[in-house]
Amino acid sequence: MIKQVIIGVVCGAAVLTVGILIGHFGIAKSGTSAPSWLKDVAKDVDESLIEKFMSEVDNIQIQENLRSLTKVPHMATTAGDEETVQIMLKRWQDPETGLDKAWREEYWVYLSFPDKNNPNTVTVVSPTNTVLHTIREKEKPYTPDQSDPEVVQPYAAYSPAGHVKGKLVYANQGKPSDYSELNKTVDLRGTIAITKYGGAGRSAKAINAAPYGVVGVLVYTDPLDMNDGLMSDANETYPHSWYMPPSGVERGSYNIDFGDLLTPHLAAKEETYRINATDITGIPPIPTQPIGFEDAYRLICELGGEPAPDAWQGGFNCTYNFGGPGFKPTSSFTNSDVKLDIYNYEEVKPSSNVMGFIRGSVEPDRYVIYGNHRDSWVHGAIDPSSGTSVMLEITRVLGKMVKQGTWRPRRSIIFGSWGAEEFGLIGSAEYTEQYFAALSERSVAYINVDIAVFGKKLHTAPVKAPGHEKSVYDNWLQYTNKTSPTHGLIPRMGYLTGAGSDYAPFSHYLGITSMDMSYTYDKTKTNARIYPAYHTAYDTFDYASKYIDPGFVGHQAVARTAGNVLIRLADSLILPLNCADYAESLEEYLSTALNLYEQKLKTMNISMEPLKHAVTSFRAAVSNLEKVIQSPDLANETPLKVRWINDQLMLLDRAFLDPLAFPDKYGFRHVIWASSSAGKQTFPGLADAYANAESSGQASDWDKVHYHLSVLSQAILGAASTLTDDMQTQTWRK
Amino acid sequence: MIKQVIIGVVCGAAVLTVGILIGHFGIAKSGTSAPSWLKDVAKDVDESLIEKFMSEVDNIQIQENLRSLTKVPHMATTAGDEETVQIMLKRWQDPETGLDKAWREEYWVYLSFPDKNNPNTVTVVSPTNTVLHTIREKEKPYTPDQSDPEVVQPYAAYSPAGHVKGKLVYANQGKPSDYSELNKTVDLRGTIAITKYGGAGRSAKAINAAPYGVVGVLVYTDPLDMNDGLMSDANETYPHSWYMPPSGVERGSYNIDFGDLLTPHLAAKEETYRINATDITGIPPIPTQPIGFEDAYRLICELGGEPAPDAWQGGFNCTYNFGGPGFKPTSSFTNSDVKLDIYNYEEVKPSSNVMGFIRGSVEPDRYVIYGNHRDSWVHGAIDPSSGTSVMLEITRVLGKMVKQGTWRPRRSIIFGSWGAEEFGLIGSAEYTEQYFAALSERSVAYINVDIAVFGKKLHTAPVKAPGHEKSVYDNWLQYTNKTSPTHGLIPRMGYLTGAGSDYAPFSHYLGITSMDMSYTYDKTKTNARIYPAYHTAYDTFDYASKYIDPGFVGHQAVARTAGNVLIRLADSLILPLNCADYAESLEEYLSTALNLYEQKLKTMNISMEPLKHAVTSFRAAVSNLEKVIQSPDLANETPLKVRWINDQLMLLDRAFLDPLAFPDKYGFRHVIWASSSAGKQTFPGLADAYANAESSGQASDWDKVHYHLSVLSQAILGAASTLTDDMQTQTWRK
C-alpha cells in the first residue's frame, strides 16, 4: 500500500551528517593497560567497509531474488505468502550469508477476501432483469503467470458483501465536494456511483457517498491519470509498454486506520480482545468494487444527464455526463440498472512477520530497524518484492561479513519482513504494538524500502550502475531539490506525513525517526500517479524487468544507498541524525503558519507568540548541542557522554509524541508529522483545526486552534529539552 | 493532600538491594595509562559517605527549619507562600550549604478561595427567616498564631458559590450507597445533607448527592473516626492532646482530577489554552461547606426522622437520625431549614515551584528527583512543612559536601518544592506536563516526603535517635510486615495506587518509579485515620513539637532514611531497584485475580491464560536479568553495559504505561498501580471492569474485562521485554 510517491523521503531528523564526525572521537592511547573494550567503544564507522559493501551489492543477485519472490501470487496468508516466508527464513538462516538469527512472528489478523466460489459480479441489467453487460471478472492474461488460478479477483478489501442495484451516476473522484456538486441536479438516492481513483482515499469514496443515499460504488483508474491517455493493448499498453492494460484493476484495502482492525492498540494475538466487527470505522458502508477502464468506458460513455464539469472529464473519447441518473435514452442500456453482487467475506487468519537480527557489538541495546512488507496483491514484483529483493541483497552482503567475522555492527540491526501490509500495514503495526516499550526505548531509526524502484525508463539511469555517469546524488539534485537556508542547494526530501507504507507505525505511533526510500521516474514526463501496474495482475517479473528497471541497476542503486544509510546508523560513533535540519523544518512550518494564520488569530485573541518562542528555543537547543558534538573536548569524554548525545538524537522524535493530540486519527501521535487534510505545508493539527474553525466559525472550533497551538508549543519546547544538556536552564515562556 | 496513611511506601520496583552490589563492578587497574575518567565511571556508592551523611543529619536543624517555615500561614499563592519561596531559594542558593543552583518556576493555576469580605455562613433559619444558630466562622484559637488574620476560613475548595437552604438530612459518608439507602425513606429533593469525612472522596459527597435533588452538603469530622471519641477541649483535645478540638475543621480541595483543572495535559503557562470552567468535572455541583464537630453535634442530635443504621452512628452521645427531613418536633430547630451562603470564588494565579539541582559527575543525564509541596492550608506544620524541614536538612548536609568539593553524585539530583499541592497536586503535575519528554527519558526515581511524621507518641521512638534502641528497620518490621516468598519476613511496603501526594504525577502519569516515605503511629492504638490536626488551624509548630515529634527525632530518622535512599539512587553503579520484588507483586496480584475471577470468566469464555503467561514471562525475564547483574563477568564489561542494565531498571515502570487504558481517570496511565474503586488487591483495570460487569451483567461490560486482560498481558510482556537483553527471543504467547 503506497499512497504517495516519494523520492528518498526522510522523516524527522534522519539526515546524514556522514563524514563530519569521522575520527572525531578517540580516547587517549598512550598506554597498554587500558581495558580491552576501550578501543571498541570509541570506534567510529569504517568508510572502507562501506565501500566494500557498495562494491559487493550485485544487480544480478537482486534480479534473481525478485524472480524467486514473484514465482507465484503471494497475497497475505495464502500458500504463496507462506512460500515467501520460507524463502526469507532460508536466506536469513543461511550458515554462510545469513543473520545471527531469524524467526517468524505470527498475528491473528482480520482480513477480507472475495469468494472464489462466488466471484463478485457487476452487471448492467434491464428493467426486466436481463443482463445486458457483465464486467470482466478477472484481468486479461498476457503471460502464463498472469493466468495463475491464484490471481485474486479484483476486489475492494473490507467492502461489505451485498446485492445492490440502481441507476448509475458519475461522481468524479468521490470526494465530499463531488457528491455535493452532483447532488445539486441529480437525486442520488438508490443510485450506484462510479468514481475514479485519486483525490480521495479508497474507502472515502463509499463513505462520502452513503449519506446521499448512494447504495453501491464502482472505482476505476482513468487512463488520463495513469496512462497519459493511452488505452489500447494492441500497441499502447502492457505488454507493449509500462501502461495499464484496459482490463487492469487496482486492488486495494478500503480502510482508513492502520493495523489489525479488530485489535486497536493491542497486538493481535490469538486470545487478544477483539472489538465487534460492526464497530470498525473507516471502511465502506456500502458494497464497493473496482473495475477496469475498458468496462468503465462502456458505462461512463453511455451515461445520460447533464455533462459533468470540465475538471471531471477524463481520458475517454466521450463526454462524461452525471448520469440521468442512469444511461442516456439513446443507449442500449437505457433504463437499465447497474447491479453489484459482492460476496466478500472476512476472516481472522494467522499472518507472519519474518524477523532477522544481527547483534550489536558495543551497543546491542540500540536497534536500527530495516523493513519491508512481503505480501502482495498478486505477484507484486514491484510492490513489494522490489524492496524485498533489495533487502535480501543487503542482508546477503552484511550477513556474509558477519558470518566470516569481518564485521559486526556497533548497534544491533533488526530486519522485518512484514505480513499483511496490503490490508493496512498490519504486520508492522502489530509488531510496534507488541514491542511498544522495548522499541520505544531502544530504536535509533527505521528504514523502509517498499517499492524500491517506481520506474526509470523516463529519465537517466542511476549511478554507480555500470556504464552510467551520474551519481544518485546528482540525479536527485537535478530532479528534486530545494534551497536550504543552512545548506544551500540540496536534494529535497519529503516528509512522511501519511501512512503509505510500514514506516507509519514506527514514525507516527512510536515516534521513531524513519526514512522511506525509492528510486522514481521523472514526474514532469508523465501523468502516471504511480507505476501503472500497481496492484494489478501485471505487476510481474516480466513487467519489472522490462519496463521498470531493466538490468536492475536502479535496484542496485537503492540497495547501495539504503545499505549505506543502514551501516552509518549502525556503526557511527555519533548518530548521523542532523537535528539542525529538524529546526529548519520547524522554522519553515512556523513561517507558513504565521503567514496563513497569525493575522486572523490576532483578531480572535489567540497569540502565536508561544509557538514562535518554542521554535526559537528549539533552534537554540540545536545550536548548543551541535557545539557539543563538534567540540574537540568530546575526544576526552567518557563513552557515557557519547551515549548521552546519541540518546538525545535518538529520542528527539519521541519527544514530539502526544497520544491524545489526534483522537480521531488512529495511530497518529506525532504532532509535527501527522497526516493532515488541510493541504498546507505546516503543523498538521493546527492546519486542520484552523480549516475547521474557518469553515464552521464556531467559538469551540477556534478553541481547538488555540488548543493545538498549546500542544505544539509544549511539544516543541519538550523536544528542545530533550536536546538540552540541562533541561532546567532552558528559558520557557511564562 | 494526603488521602492515605502510609508507612515507607514504595511503588513499583523501588526496593533497596543495597550492599549486594557494592564493589561488584570494577575495571582492570593494572596500568596507569588508562583514561582519567575510567575510575570515576566504575565507582560505586561509598558506604562511608552514607555514614557521614547520617551522622550529620541534625534534629535541631530540622526543628528550626520547621519553626521558620511555619511562622505564618502559607496557603498557595498568598504572601505567606511567597515567604516560603524566599526561604527555599535562600537556603538552596546559600554559598556554603546550597545546591549547584536553584530557581523558581511559575504556573498560572486555577484556584478557589473563600471571600474574606463575605465569609461563607451556615445557619439554621426558622420558617420566618429568623437565624436560630450560626455555624462558627473560624476555628477557636489557642495560641497567638492560630488567630492570625491570614488563617483562612474553613471551606471546600472548588465548591461553587451559592445560596441554598433546605431541610437537613444525615447521609453518613456521602457514598452512593448512603444516599440510596437514605432515599428509600426520605424525599431528598431540596434537602441539605450533612456527611462525615471518610468513605468517599471529598467532592464525591456532593457529586453523589446532586442526582437525588440534594441542594447543599455539609461535611464534618466525626469524633469517633479521629478522636477516639474524645470531644472536650477542656481537658481532652488539643491543646491537651493531639486530638482535634471541637471547632477544628478539615479544609481540603474538593476535586477528583489532579493538576491544574483548566489545562489538562498542558503546562499551565500564561498563554496556554484553557478549557471553560464550566467543563471541569469532578468538583461539587452544589454548594458544600465543611464544619467543626461542635456544630455538627448540634445539627445531628436535633435531627428527626427514623434512626440511621448502626453502621452510620458516630461518636456523639445521641442517636443519629436520618432527618424527617429536618429537625425533630421536640427540637428548638423544628421546621427550620439549614442555609448555606457560600461566596467561594475562583481565580487564575501564579504559583511557584522552587527547584534545586546538583549536577551529576558521571551520568548528569540521569535524574534522581526528591520533592515535597511547600503550600499548606494554614500553618501546615506537619502537612507539608515536616517534609520540607526534612528536605532542607538533607540538602544542607549534601549541599555542604558539594560546596566543599568532598562529594558530587554520580547522577544528577533534582529537588522540587512544589506549589499548590493542596489544590490538587498542581505544582508537581504541571512540572511533569511541562518536562514530560526529558523527565521520561532521564528520571531514575522520584522520592516524596510530604508529611514526614504522622505521629509517634503512641509507640516506641524511631532509632538512631539519641537514647533509643530500636532501629527504623526493627520498628518497621515489628509494626508492619509481610512474608515474602523470596525474602521471608520483611517490612511491608504499600503500593502508591492513589493520588494522595505529589508522587502521583511522577508515578501515574510519567511511570517513574516512586517512593513516598513517612514515620507514623501504631494504627492498633487509635482510630484516628490521620493525625487529628490535619488541614486545621491547629497544625502549628506548637502542635508538631508537642504532640507529633517532640525532639524531632522522628523527623531525623526520616531524613536519614530518605537521604540514604537518595544517595544510593544517585551513586550506586547499578541502580538499587529490585525487579524481583516487582515480579513478586505481579504474582500476588495474579494469584488474587485468579481466585476472584477465573472461574466466572471461564463461563464467559474469557481466558486468563495470557495473563498467567505474561506474569511467568516477566518472572523469567527478571531471573535472567538478575543473573546478569550478579555475574562476575560484569566486572569486565564496558560502562555501556552497566548503563544498559540501569536503563532497563529505570525504564521498567515506564513500560507499564498505557495512555488509553483509563479514559475516565485523569492522569492515570500505569496499568499496575492505577487507582481502583473495586477494593481488591489486584490489577486495577481488571478489578474495576469485573466489578462493573458483575453489577451490570451486560455483554459490553464483560468485553471490557477481556479488554483489560489484554491490556495487562501486553503491558506485562512489554515490561518483560524491557528487562530482556534481546526482546526477540522472548516467548510470547500466540
pLDDT digits (tens, 9 = 90+) for A281-291: 999 999 999 99
Task: Give the distance from CA A334 to its chain's centroid.
Answer: 43
pLDDT at position A8 is 31
Interface touch B38/A33, C-beta < 8 Å: no
Question: What would the pLDDT profile of A471-491 be if each residue is shown by its tens digit?
Answer: 788 888 888 899 999 889 998
Find all residues with CB under 8 Å of A473, minimum gap 6, and list them: A491
Which chain B residues are within 8 Å of A34, Cβ to Cβ? Answer: 31, 33-35, 38
In angstroms, the CA A620 to CA A615 distance is 9
Which chain B residues are within 8 Å of A671, Cβ to Cβ? Answer: none
pLDDT at position B734 is 54
A421 is catalytic: yes
pLDDT at position B457 is 54
Chain B residue with CA closest to A104: the answer is: B728
pLDDT at position B18 is 27
Rounded average pLDDT over B610-634: 94
Stretch among A432-446, A511-525, B459-473 having the lowest mean pLDDT: B459-473
In angstroms, the CA A157 to CA A255 distance is 8
pLDDT at position B474 is 84
CA dihedral B161, B167, B171, B173 (to 10 degrees): 30
User: Nearest by CB to A435, which of B263, B659, B721?
Assistant: B721
In angstroms, the CA A556 to CA A562 distance is 10
Residue type, B515: M
pLDDT at position B479 is 84
Contact in structure between B312 and B304 (CB atoms under 8 Å)? no
pLDDT score of B707 more than 70 = yes
Q: How confident is the model at residue B475 (pLDDT cuts 50, 70, 90)?
A: confident
Half-sphere exposure at residue A26, Cβ-oriented, CA atoms within 13 angstroms: 6
Nearest alpha carbon to residue B258 among B77, B1, B448, B434: B1
Rounded average pLDDT over B683-692: 98
C-alpha cell at A521: 521516474
Q: Is B173 helix (H, G, I), strand (E, B) or coil?
A: coil
pLDDT at position A457 is 54
pLDDT at position B65 is 98
pLDDT at position A9 is 30
Min Cα distance B685 → chain A (Å) is: 14
Contact in structure between A305 and A293 (CB atoms under 8 Å)? no
- For chain A, say whether B714 makes contact (Cβ under 8 Å): yes
Residue in B250, B393, B421, B422 annotated catalytic: B421
CB atoms within 10 A of CB A693: 23
**Pairing of the two strands A488-491 and A443-448:** unpaired
C-alpha cell at A170: 458519475
Q: What is chain B's mean pLDDT, rounded?
A: 92
In angstroms, the CA A267 to CA A351 distance is 12
Nearest alpha carbon to residue B344 among B229, B529, B216: B216
Window 165-224 of B, Cβ < 8 Å to A: none
Contact in structure between A7 and A495 (CB atoms under 8 Å)? no
Contact in structure between A123 and A336 (CB atoms under 8 Å)? no
pLDDT score of A576 more than 50 = yes
pLDDT score of B254 more than 70 = yes
Q: How confident is the model at residue B476 (pLDDT cuts 50, 70, 90)?
A: confident
pLDDT score of B267 more than 90 = yes
Question: What would the pLDDT profile of B397-430 be if each residue is shown by its tens digit?
Answer: 999 999 999 999 999 999 999 999 999 999 999 9
Q: Is the dihedral of CA A717, A722, A725, A727 positive or negative?
A: positive
Rounded average pLDDT over B653-667: 97
pLDDT at position A734 is 54
Rounded average pLDDT over A568-579: 96
Residue type, B331: S
In angstroms, the CA A697 to CA A688 distance is 14
> Dmax over Cα atoms in chain B, in whole Å?
97
Q: How confident is the model at residue A728 (pLDDT cuts 50, 70, 90)?
A: low
Task: Report which of residues B373 and B480 the model is more confident about.
Answer: B373
pLDDT score of A678 more than 50 = yes
Contact in structure between B513 and B578 (CB atoms under 8 Å)? no
Chain B residue with CA closest to A435: the answer is: B718
Question: What would the pLDDT profile of A223-264 be if each residue is shown by its tens digit?
Answer: 999 999 999 999 999 999 999 999 999 999 999 999 999 999
Q: Is the dihedral of CA B31, B35, B39, B41 positive or negative?
A: negative
Q: B240 - beta bridge partners?
A: none
In angstroms, the CA B238 to CA B245 distance is 6
In angstroms, the CA B322 to CA B306 distance is 6
Half-sphere exposure at residue A167, Cβ-oriented, CA atoms within 13 angstroms: 19
Rounded average pLDDT over A58-72: 98
Q: How confident is the model at residue B732 (pLDDT cuts 50, 70, 90)?
A: low
pLDDT score of A16 more than 90 = no
Rounded average pLDDT over B453-480: 66
Whole-number CA gyration radius for chain B: 26
Question: What would the pLDDT profile of B162-210 be if each residue is shown by its tens digit?
Answer: 999 999 999 999 999 999 999 999 999 999 999 999 999 999 999 999 9
Which chain A residues are within 8 Å of B707, Cβ to Cβ? Answer: 273
pLDDT at position A469 is 56
pLDDT score of B459 more than 80 = no
C-alpha cell at B107: 504556573
pLDDT at position A17 is 28
CB atoms within 10 A of CB B460: 14
> Dmax over Cα atoms in chain A, in whole Å?
98
pLDDT score of A465 more than 50 = no
Query: Which DSSP symbol is given to B307?
Result: B
In angstroms, the CA A645 to CA A632 distance is 14
Question: What would the pLDDT profile of A679-694 be if each residue is shown by its tens digit?
Answer: 999 999 999 999 999 9
In angstroms, the CA A139 to CA A377 distance is 13
Domains of chain B, earliest start first: 9-112+347-571 (3.40.630.10), 115-343 (3.50.30.30), 579-729 (1.20.930.40)
Residue type, A544: A
- For chain B, say whether A698 makes contact (Cβ under 8 Å): no
pLDDT at position A552 is 96
Find all residues with CB under 8 Å of B631, minimum gap 6, and list them: none
In angstroms, the CA B35 to CA B41 distance is 11
Encode burial over A607-630: b for 16+ CB neighbours within 10 A, e otherwise: ebebbbbbbbbbbbbbeebbebbe
pLDDT at position B234 is 96
Q: How confident is the model at residue B469 (pLDDT cuts 50, 70, 90)?
A: low
Rounded average pLDDT over B695-722: 97
Chain A residue with CA closest to B366: the answer is: A644
pLDDT at position B32 is 46
pLDDT at position B20 is 26
Interface probe with A: pick from B39, B270, B273, most Cβ of A within 10 Å: B273
pLDDT score of B431 more than 80 = yes
Q: How confident is the model at residue B632 (pLDDT cuts 50, 70, 90)?
A: confident
Question: What would the pLDDT profile of A358-387 be if each residue is shown by its tens digit?
Answer: 999 999 999 999 999 999 999 999 999 999
pLDDT score of B273 more than 50 = yes
Which chain A residues are within 8 Å of B101, Cβ to Cβ? Answer: 728-729
**Pairing of the two strands A481-484 and A488-491:** antiparallel
C-alpha cell at B290: 465543611
Residue A550: asked if its preceding bond is cis (omega within 30°), the reply is: no
Window 104-123 of A, Cβ < 8 Å to B: 105-106, 108
Interface touch A437/B34, C-beta < 8 Å: no
Whole-number CA gyration radius for chain A: 26
pLDDT at position B468 is 54
- For chain B, say whether A249 makes contact (Cβ under 8 Å): no
Q: What is the DSSP string of B681-707?
A: SS-HHHHHHHHHHHHH--HHHHHHHHH
Rounded average pLDDT over B457-466: 45
pLDDT score of A350 more than 70 = yes
Question: What would the pLDDT profile of A17-35 be if each residue is shown by its tens digit?
Answer: 222 222 223 333 344 467 8
Q: Is B50 helix (H, G, I), strand (E, B) or coil?
A: helix
pLDDT at position A34 is 79
Which chain A residues are within 8 Å of B34, Cβ to Cβ? Answer: 31, 33-35, 38
What is the percent of chain B where pLDDT is above 90?
87
C-alpha cell at B585: 507483586
In angstroms, the CA B97 to CA A54 distance is 60
Rounded average pLDDT over B451-458: 80
Nearest alpha carbon to residue A665 among A206, A198, A258: A258
- What beta strand segments (E) does A25-183 contain? 101-113, 121-125, 131-134, 156-157, 162-166, 168-170
Reported residue count of chain A is 734
Q: How far apart are the first and last CA of chain A?
A: 45
